Amino acid sequence: MGVDATNVDVSTAEKLLWVLAVAVVVALAVPWFLWRDATVIAGLPAWIWWHIAWMGVASLVFYGFSRRAWGLGVEL
């Protein structure tokens, strides 16, 4: 059950795309552009909504990574 980490077969281009995806997820995890913004949506600050949405995005990226490329830099 699961993916055998010793048998991951992805191209160099796909490896670079995974690196880019992780970099984007990390870089946008903190919404610097929303600091000092007093916008309130449905009773909560906009930066809280950003974190809620970003957690969903990060979860989808991790799900895709775990299904497609688990084993690239991940030890069992």
Domains in the chain: how many in total? 1
Task: Indicate if the pLDDT at residue 5 is higher than 80.
Answer: no
**pLDDT for 33-61, tens place per residue?**
888 888 999 999 999 999 999 999 999 99
Give me the torsion for CA of 57, 69, 5, 58, rounded to 10°.
-10
Q: What is the pLDDT of residue 76?
A: 57
Single out the residue of 72, 75, 74, 56 nearest to residue 14, CA to CA.
72
Task: List pLDDT tens digits, range 59-72.
Answer: 999 999 888 888 77
The domain in which residue 39 lies consists of 5-68
Does the residue 19 lie in any domain? Answer: yes
Residue 14 lies in a domain: yes
What pTM was computed for the model?
0.72
Q: Is residue 32 part of a domain?
A: yes
